[in-house]
Structure 1
Amino acid sequence: MTADLLPLLKQNFGFSEFRDGQAEVISATLQGRDSFVLMPTGGGKSLCYQLPALTMPLVTIVVSPLMSLMKDQVDALKANGIAAEFINSSLSREDILSVFARLRRGELKLLYLAPERLLQPAFLTRLEDVGVSLFAIDEAHCISQWGHDFRPDYMALAILKQRFPQVPIMALTATADAATRHDIMQQLTLQQPYVNQGSFDRPNIRYTVQEKFHPLEQVISFLQRQEGAAGIIYCASRRKVDELTEQLKQRGYNAAAYHAGLSNEQRDKVQDAFKRDDHQLIVATVAFGMGVNKSNIRFVIHYELPRTIEAYYQETGRAGRDGVAAEAMMLFDPADIGRMKRWLDAEPNQQRAEVSWQRFLAMAAFAAAQTCRRLVLLNYFGEARQQPCGNCDTCLQPPQQFDGLELAQKALSCVYRVGQRFGMHHVIDVLRGSQSQKIIEMGHDKLSTWGIGKEQTHDYWLSILRQLIHFGLLQQDITAHSVLKLQPAARTVLRGEVSLSLAEPRIETAKREPERLVKQNYDRALFAKLRALRKHISARDDVAPFVVFSDATLIDMCQQLPTDNNSMLAVSGVGQTKLARYGADFIDEISDYLAEDNQPPVGKLTR
């Protein structure tokens, strides 16, 4: 059945074949079955309902949580020549009436709505009159109380099965553990749904965790390797967003802040500038992201530890949606764990607080892991793997172990000598022989442990103390200003009765990026010219650049060097509609470049 749709797939979306899972979901939908679709961000979820919508007699209703997300998807569909519209508060009354008229005349294939508008009684009655072929519930994890982005408005979508019992429902999400998946299907009362649980693996994303020492310099070092690519930096608070944005601006970066403390107009302006490549760097709280349908984000940085692996996976998944190599870098300070514990202690719902705490501990374990990070992620989501990925920091640069017994004894002894009444930095000052006023006033310069660790730097000792906390030898008392306290297990270490292997602290940020797992051999100079052309066309047509062509499509152009319509149609992401709209401009740009560079129009690149 789906093989018959391949010409439609190429003509309207520019792809010659389906991705994993798409054909099966589409087939089930065309048979009138409910379905639950779990695919990673960038895995092609949208196509699962967009392509069958073209063949169905009535409209497909798409439930989407954010206005900007609706607009981006509708712009992309229209660029492909597909009859799609959205209705939300950004439209005038006249525009909404125009969409209603098109709906009534049967001219629309897809209509995007927020759950609040869809569930208005008058609107449901209108849909009963015109008829619906399919309901697609995007970001379906919002319906579950166990989902990482629960939204009460989504729960009322259960009424759809009551009002439209014969219309199939497709629930789609990129992030849901077993409890969330079960809750989604139960809340929507899906009837014997076809379940597609695709792989959670995003092999094009490199996962890296750095211990947080000098966070601003670590971020700057990372950004210097990105060559001006688009990226997002997530911070835990509005204050930190504003502070980091200003610091980056002072360093010459074109950064913009985004958080709930800004007005709607300010947030919309920042998000629109980012989508149009006018801003390449966004510093944001988690309020930013779900509505960003931008395929050419090349990196995501987490300045602090996220609350759950689900949130981390969803946020890092905003990078590399086009399948091109991308990076996810996180700075980890174990003190984040204490801050989260204090926050959850104020949660009135104890059951929810306990679940949240366990999920956060899983996130902390991921950050502290010394095994393949991709394996930790995949196994968390129930996708059992044992083979390391070769594209995360622990695979590319495995932690070096050493006999840490003597260093541990020095650190534990110092904690004991200062009376277990001080935090990390004071203990380190004593170990390194500081002569600060506080040390002298406390008389800690007279302790036997004063200066016994002066050979190591402050950051080195910080890493060692954190590892001793991970091993359960020390505890930070979050109820008493995070003072360090010895744990029972420390006794055998202090007595030298056990061996102790520690990881060599990674203090210096890597200056050289290891070889990427995803090979990308293409002409960077030509890519820059095509990207500039794309930006010009996007401004002319008032759409985001990635709506014209994705980075992956531009890269394929650089590799195939099309100089006529037939060869341009062979490029991934180029269909008949986009060929007609944009093909001539890009063919001319490539032909001019080849002529200037005296290169042949076909064959392997030699640059």
Structure 2
Amino acid sequence: MLPPSVLQTFQKVWGYSDFRPPQAEIIENLLCDRDSLVLLATGGGKSICFQLPAILKQGLTIVISPLLALMEDQVQDLQRRELPAATLHSNLTSRERHQVLQKLPHLRLLYVSPETLLSQPVWERLCAPTLAIAGIMVDEAHCLVQWGDTFRPTYRRLGSVRSALMQHKPPEHSRIAIAAFTATANSHAQAELISCLQLEQPQVIRTSPYRANLSLNVAIAWTPLCRKHQTVRFIHSQKGQTGLIYVRSRRETEELAEWLSTQSFHTAAYHAGLPSEQRRQIETAWIEGEYPFVVCTSAFGLGLNNPRTRWVLHFQAPLTLAEYIQEVGRAGRDGNPATALMLVSEPTGFLDNSDRNRQDFFLQQQQKQLQRAQMLLPKLPSKGNFSDVIKGNPDMALVLGMLHSAGKLVWHSPFAYEIRAGNHKFAEIDRTPLLQMQAYMSTRHCRWAFLMQAFGFEREAKTLRCGVCDRCLQQNKK
């Protein structure tokens, strides 16, 4: 049971009257220094779950986040609330980085990427015996087990961070709790997160991704031109309400946004390659209604909460269900009806093979990556220091990450590794996520039931008929 002072601080800082389930349970775990794995649906208020304990506890809470835009958004919000928070990233000047490092003893929250966390200047300051570390929060933790070309090998080193930090702290230093937060993780991903982060008897808190107010729909676009025309019709059908259009590459955001502008739509392209200031301007314009919708990659929406978002259009299918459920979750956060539409190529690929080409290209890139890692493997010492090994070849970081992911390597510290004895041939590429997405596209049953089954809510899935997805509506007409 949380003491009244916790709710009072929450009300004073964030202005809400009470916690939403299961926020209070998560906050209590972190205040008691328990390790946690939290699967909280998009829009469930997960940031507050670690921000509130951080400002109530003594010491610095480290928040590990994958995206610069996400870190900046959250830190700016905290600073507006006059809370002691900062971020460190590569876009800061040397003077700005130095100022943040000097302020560490006075901060409650420090946002960093895994790469910045393990950079020498930052790591040395965090290891200072006089700097109290209150906790380590891994936000968007699915990136740790990410399947695809966005694999971040540094994430695989995070499991040894806690023990390495504790070696530099005095004996009376309190335990450093670790919590991992994500919106999506099936049972296999959950087990891998617990193992990789070395969570100790973690409290696993899961909420269903199901949104009864969100209608899921899939439609065939027979030709590339048809895909554009269906996009225009769908936007018109939403009657100027706020939405998002997701595409899969930076180039495609700009091409589609430019074409839609010729169709008299006021919009903008958004991706992680844009300057920080320009991204902030687009986000603000969208939230304030200047842009009814934005054409974006998956970089948009993380950390942003616009409850007025009524629709999400996938101009192209995501590669995985995890990506899909993250992105459709941007719509309908206020509980009012919302719609998601995914456009897909016709099954044969004769008239439009763009979806198939995109998958093939992705698999080819993965295969090249695998072959490159296999070729470098004989050159990798069986024991070594991370910095020394990558000095001659930065691609060695990928090899180390892949070996750890395959259970063939152990990190004794974030910097010292040892390869286990045995066969070190990498396994073939797992196509299961692609097949899952294809099965979702073609399912004849309730789409929400399919997703619930895929993410480990089998019992709920057996009886679920959402009544608002395209498949349920078709069944109702029969």
Q: Which TM-score band applies after superposition, normalised by the shorter structure?
A: 0.7 to 0.9
2:282 corresponding residue in structure 1: 273
Deviation at 1:9, TM superposition (A): 1.7
Q: Give 1:190's aligned residue.
A: 199
Deviation, 1:72, is 0.9
* Structure 1 equivalent of residue 399 of structure 2: none
CA offsets, 1:84-141, max 9 Å, x none? 222223333333333333323x3x2212112122112332332233111111110111
TM-score normalized by the length of structure 1 = 0.60
Q: Would the alpha carbon gap of residues 229 and 85 (structure 1) be closer, same or farther in structure 2, given more than 3 Å must change?
A: farther
Q: Is the 8 A contact 2:126 2:165 kept in 1?
A: no
Query: Structure 1 regions of 5+ residues with no counterpart?
Result: 402-607
Q: How does 1:387-466 map to 2 (within 5 A)?
A: 387-398=464-475
Equivalent in the alignment of 1:257: 269
**Residue 213 (structure 2) pairs with residue 204 (structure 1):** yes
Pairwise CA distance, 1:64: 1.2
Q: Residue type matched to 2:119 in 1?
A: Q
Q: Residue 391 of structure 1 aligns to a residue in which SS? A: coil
Larger radius of gyration: 1
Highest relative contact order (Cα 8 Å, sep 6+), 1 or 2? 2
Output the amino acid matched with 1:374: W
Q: In the alignment, which residue of structure 1 is the partner of 2:357?
A: 339
Task: Call closer, same or farther: CA 1:315–1:215 in 2, change over 3 Å.
Answer: same
Q: Residue by residue, what CA displacement relative to the aligned partner does 1:162-181 show, whole Å, maximum 9, x if unpaired? A: 22343111111112222221
**Aligned position for 2:442:** 368
Question: Would you say the 8 A contact 1:141–1:150 is kept in 2?
Answer: no
C-alpha separation in 2, matches of 1:239 and 1:101: 40
Q: Is the 8 A contact 1:295 1:320 kept in 2?
A: no
Partner of 1:116: 115
Question: RMSD of the TM alignment (CA)?
Answer: 2.7
How many residues get paired?
Answer: 394
Summarize the alignment of residues 62-141 of structure 1 with structure 2, pairs less than 5 Å apart: 62-104=63-105, 106=106, 108-129=107-128, 130-141=131-142
What secondary structure does 1:227 align onto? coil
- 2:361 is aligned with what amino acid? W
Aligned to 1:502: none
Q: CA deviation at 1:324?
A: 4.6
Aligned to 2:26: 25
C-alpha displacement of 1:373: 1.0
- The structural deviation recorded for 1:47 is 1.5
Residue from 171, 183, 196 that aligns with 1:174: 183
Query: C-alpha displacement at 1:21, in angstroms?
Result: 2.0
Partner of 1:293: 304
For residue 203 of structure 1, report the CA deviation from its aligned partner.
2.9
1:377 partner letter: L
CA deviations on 1:55-97 (whole Å, 9 max, x unpaired) are 1011211111122111111122233332222222333333333
Cα distance in 2 for residues equivalent to 1:157 and 1:181: 16
Aligned-pair CA distance for 1:325: 3.9
Amino acid at match of 2:64: V
Structure 1 238/190 Cα, relative in aligned 2: closer, same or farther at 3 Å? closer
Q: Where do residues 285-364 of structure 1 align in structure 2 (5 Å cutoff)?
A: 285-286=297-298, 288-289=299-300, 291=302, 293-296=304-307, 297-333=309-345, 334=347, 335=349, 338-339=356-357, 342-343=360-361, 346=364, 347-348=366-367, 349=370, 354-355=429-430, 357-364=431-438
Give the drift of 1:360.
Answer: 1.5
Alignment CA distance shift 1:123-1:48 (3 Å): same
What's the counterpart of residue 433 of structure 1? none
Matched, 1:380 2:380: no
Residue 218 of structure 2: SS of its match in structure 1?
strand
Assess, with a 3 A threshold, how the Cα gap between structure 1 residues 353 and 20 changes in structure 2: closer, same or farther: farther
Q: SS of 2:162's equivalent?
A: helix
Equivalent residues of 1:344, 1:353 under 8 A apart: no
1:326 Cα deviation (Å)?
Answer: 2.9
For the 8 Å contact 2:271–2:300, the answer to whether it is kept is: no
The alpha-carbon deviation at position 285 of structure 1 amounts to 3.9
- Amino acid of the residue matched to residue 17 of structure 2? S
| Percent of aligned positions that are identical | 35
Secondary structure of residue in 1 paired with 2:453: helix
Q: Is the 8 A contact 1:137 1:170 kept in 2?
A: yes
TM value normalised by structure 2: 0.75
Shift of 1:284: 3.1
Alignment partner, residue 234 of structure 1: 246
SS of residue in 2 equivalent to 1:171: strand
Using the TM superposition, name which of 235-244 and 24-33 deviates more.
235-244
Query: 1:13 deviation in Å?
Result: 1.4
Measured at CA, do residues 164 and 123 of structure 1 come closer, stay the same or move farther in structure 2, by a change above 3 Å? same
Deviation, 1:239, is 5.6
Aligned to 1:246: 258
Contact 1:61 1:111 in 2 (8 A): yes
CA separation of 1:6 and 1:239: change in aligned 2, threshold 3 A: closer
Checking the alignment, whether the CA contact within 8 Å between 2:447 and 2:471 is kept in structure 1 is yes
Look up the SS of the partner of 2:243 in the other structure. Answer: strand
AA of the residue aligned to 1:87: L
How far residue 376 of structure 1 moved from its aligned partner, in angstroms, is 0.9
Please give the alpha-carbon distance, in whole angstroms, between the structure 2 residues aligned to 1:149 and 1:326: 29
Counterpart for residue 9 of structure 2? 8
